[in-house]
């Protein structure tokens, strides 16, 4: 998979982050902060992003592609462009309870655990977004 960045500027990264479900109500200052700490990564079709039992170290934002989230071989949902995944384990500070695999060549932004918690302490809109994100995952499980 080519390693070309899809976010050559911080502005482009901010515009994307603003579209992601959990950051949709964030203020510009907080979006700039997220953009500065989010790392862009490329994953190839079929690549495993994390498996059940792995440490929960990152929140992932899907810029391009499609990610299958499953548990014990049972598909839970697909994360697609402008969606996030990996949130619940990160907030619980537990090992991953799910498995994430790229269904297509994909580009993701990832935010580290401690960085996300710092953002939540500093920006209430991000905390509300994280709570909405957890609620969305719970609805998919029911």
Asked if residue 4 belongs to a domain, the reply is no
> How far, in Å, CA of 73 to CA of 98, rounded?
9
> How far, in Å, CA of 118 to CA of 123, rounded?
9
Q: What is the pLDDT of residues 2-37, one digit of tens each?
A: 456 888 899 999 999 999 989 998 999 999 999 999
The count of domains in the chain is 1
Asked if residue 1 belongs to a domain, the reply is no
Asked if residue 5 belongs to a domain, the reply is no
State pTM to two decimals.
0.91
Q: What is the pLDDT of residues 90-125, one digit of tens each?
A: 888 899 999 999 999 999 999 999 999 999 999 999
pLDDT the model gives residue 138: 79
Residue of higher predicted confidence among 39 and 92: 39
Asked if residue 109 belongs to a domain, the reply is yes
100 token code pair: 């994430």
């Amino acid at each position: 998979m080519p390693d070309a960045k899809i976010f050559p500027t911080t502005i482009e990264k901010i515009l994307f982050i603003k579209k992601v479900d959990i950051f949709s109500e964030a203020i510009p200052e907080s979006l700039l902060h997220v953009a500065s700490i989010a790392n862009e990564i490329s994953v190839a079709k079929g690549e495993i992003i994390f498996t059940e039992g792995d440490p929960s170290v990152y929140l992932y934002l899907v810029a391009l592609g499609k990610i299958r989230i499953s548990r014990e071989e049972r598909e839970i949902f697909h994360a697609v462009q402008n969606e996030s995944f990996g949130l619940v384990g990160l907030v619980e500070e537990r090992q991953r309870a799910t498995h994430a695999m790229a269904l297509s060549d994909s580009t993701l932004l990832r935010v580290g655990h401690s960085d996300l918690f710092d953002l939540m302490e500093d920006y209430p809109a991000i905390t509300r977004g994280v709570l909405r994100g957890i609620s969305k995952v719970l609805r998919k499980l029911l």
